[in-house]
Amino acid sequence: RGLIDTVLMAGQALHPIVSPTIWPPAAPKYDVMVVGAGFAGSVMAERLASIGKTVLVVDRRPHIAGNAYDRLDDAGLLIHQYGPHIFHTNSTEIFEYLSQFTEWRAYEHRVLAKVDGLLVPIPINRTTINILYGLDLRSEAEAEAFLASRAEPVPLIETSEDVVIAAVGRELYDKFFRDYTRKQWGLDPSQLDRTVTSRVPTRTNTDDRYFNDRFQAMPAEGYTKMFERMLDHPNIDLLLGTDYAQVRSAYLHTQLVFTGPIDEYFGYRFGKLPYRSLRFEHETIDTPWFQPVAVVNYPDLETPYTRITEYKHLTGQENDRTSITREYPQAEGDAYYPIPREENQALFKRYEALARSEENVTFVGRLATYRYYNMDQIVGQALASFRRTFLHAERAPAD
Ligand code: FAD
Ligand code: UDP
């Protein structure tokens, strides 16, 4: 049994419920059922299989890789179905773990923002200031002095507005952050936890990379290929196009790993946790290049999308045409972003308390732990969760 012959697509997946004795032919019982084939679920499945557990991975989507899923479009260009995913991490352990399943293409992410009709670097750096204000600041000290003259003192930095105002002042905040955030989250930055805009640093040098991390690279053949290798293990079966609710009783399992939304798992008992969604508009254009960098941000309210991604910058593919994606934020739809606010965290805590007393169930991932985590953080969370739940727990009795 390998990955390919055990993949069931939507439709077929109903058979096991109707007639479990006919399909699947073997192993209707698994040590662990894993809900979700994204980073959280796939890392857990891979680790569990590596210690000899039999695993059934179930995902309601018709593909693996969760939100990191990429695919070739009609033009033969590799695009990210759910928006741009750029890999970066400071953790050697996480980078080495993933390197078992992929080669890498060196790539440092650079983003420009369209502000006052100009394309300028974001994160705000010395170049951004020089272009926007027609200045010629030459040193970090000069740029620091410029920002200090604009920054407003904020005694206690609590919100996403405070973070930016304290660093660059209100004018740059208005130009780069206020409206982008209002579009992206449907909330004013003052209504969001400081952690949201803190993701974007402010620089006084001319470093125009989006991330500071030690490791910055893209999986050479894409994310989906990397996930295929992770899940390609004789102990792992895969059921795609299948919701957990459809199969929870059809396959016996001793343990459950759940990586879907935690509020959904508990039947929305305390009410729905808020998530922000997006609509992705993919387009192929008859021109070799569309924009100078992989991502251009549009931090104004008139433009209905937040950013445009052009994938050839990420992949290095050569083609006479180019494929882009526009991201339109929306309230309804797939849960993409947990919304970092105190009241949401309080509601999550109530679900988390239920999760703690749920026996033989492990909650991992961005949706199950309601955390605005990057891919590498989810890999780290899953590796730690695996060790805690399945390695140390098993060793304990023998100690
Ligand atoms: P997911 O990838 O969401 O996987 C969960 C899976 O569970 C899904 O496939 C879902 O279909 C399945 N599922 C849920 N409930 C059920 C159920 N009841 N039954 C069956 N299946 C179920 N991170 C970065 O590091 N760099 C980036 O550049 C980056 N860009 C991003 C851009 C966007 C637009 C978004 C939305 C996220 C981005 N991220 C980025 C974050 C990254 O997507 C996440 O950190 C990562 O994908 C989380 O993995 P996960 O397994 O927790 O969740
Ligand atoms: N942000 C902004 N303007 C920008 C870039 C980011 O206001 O040009 C804010 C916005 O609130 C965004 C957050 O900073 O949601 C984090 O940005 P990041 O690029 O990390 O978002 P992600 O890639 O996770 O969507």
Residue 277 lies in a domain: no
Q: Is 373 in the pocket of ligand 1 (CB under 6 A)?
A: yes
Classify residue 306: in a domain, yes or no: no
Please report, for the domain that includes residue 264, its CATH number: 3.40.50.720
Given a contact cutoff of 8 angstroms between Cβ atoms, the answer to whether 256 and 32 are in contact is yes
Q: How many CB atoms lie within 10 A of CB 62?
A: 14
Do 169 and 245 fall within a single domain? Answer: no
* Sole residue written with tokens 């988390």: 352
The verdict on 258 and 344 lying in the same domain is: yes
Name the helix (H) or strand (E) containing 89.
strand 87-89
The count of structural domains within the chain is: 2
Which token pair is 197?
């805009």
**Ligand 1 binding pocket includes 121 (Cβ within 6 Å):** no
Task: List pLDDT tens digits, range 14-39.
Answer: 333 333 333 444 557 999 999 999 99
Residue 398 has pLDDT above 70, yes or no: no
Q: Is the CB of 58 under 6 A from ligand 1?
A: yes
For 161-194, the pLDDT digits (tens) are 999 999 999 999 999 999 999 999 999 999 999 9
Exposed (0-12), middle (13-18) or buried (19+): which is 5, by Cβ within 10 Å?
exposed
Domain extent, residue 257, equals 3-68+219-272+338-398
Strands 78-80 and 70-72: antiparallel
Whether 390 has a pLDDT exceeding 90, the answer reads yes
Q: Is the pTM of this model over 0.90?
A: yes
Residue 195 near ligand 2, beta carbon < 6 Å: no
Whole-angstrom CA distances from 242 to 69, 245, 247, 317 are: 17, 8, 8, 33
* In a shared domain, residues 253 and 379: yes
- Residue 277 pLDDT: 98
What local confidence, expressed as pLDDT, does residue 395 receive?
Answer: 53
End-to-end Cα spacing for the chain: 35
* 266 lies in some domain: yes
* Per-residue model confidence as pLDDT tens digits over 126-150: 999 999 999 999 999 999 999 999 9
Question: What percent of the chain is predicted at pLDDT more than 90?
Answer: 90
| Burial class for 161, CB neighbours closer than 10 Å (0-12, 13-18, 19+) | buried
Return the best residue to mutate from 175, 197, 306, 314 for the ligand 2 pocket (most ligand atoms within 8 A of CB): 197
Q: What is the layout of strands, in order, in the sheet containing 29-35? A: 7-8, 236-239, 55-58, 29-35, 252-258, 361-363
Closest ligand relative to 377 C-alpha = 1
Return d(Cα 25, Cα 21) in angstroms, integer.
Answer: 7
Residues 260 and 373 in one domain: yes
Residue 107 lies in a domain: no
Q: Which of 153, 169, 199 is the last residue of a domain?
A: 199
Same domain, 227 and 357: yes
Burial class of residue 178 in the structure, from the number of CB atoms within 10 Å of its CB (0-12 exposed, 13-18 middle, 19+ buried): buried
ipTM of the complex: 0.99
Q: What is the rounded distance in angstroms from the CA atom of residue 27 to the CA atom of residue 38? A: 23
Does residue 298 have its Cβ closer than 6 Å to ligand 2? no
Same-domain status, 223 and 194: no
- The more confidently predicted of residues 279 and 3 is 279
Q: Within 13 Å of residue 193, how many CA atoms lie on the same side as its CB?
A: 14
Among candidate residues 313, 318, 327, the one with its CA nearest the CA of residue 282:
327
| 3-class DSSP state of 193 | strand
Do 261 and 145 fall within a single domain?
Answer: no
The answer to whether 128 touches 120, Cβ cutoff 8 Å, is yes
**Are both 56 and 187 inside the same structural domain?**
no
Beta bridge partners of residue 338, listed in sequence order = 275
**In this model, does residue 312 exceed pLDDT 90?**
yes
pLDDT, tens digit, 9 for 90 and up, residues 332-382: 999 999 999 999 999 999 999 999 999 999 999 999 999 999 999 999 999
The rounded Å distance from CA 342 to ligand 1 centre is 22
Residue 192 sits in the same domain as residue 124: yes
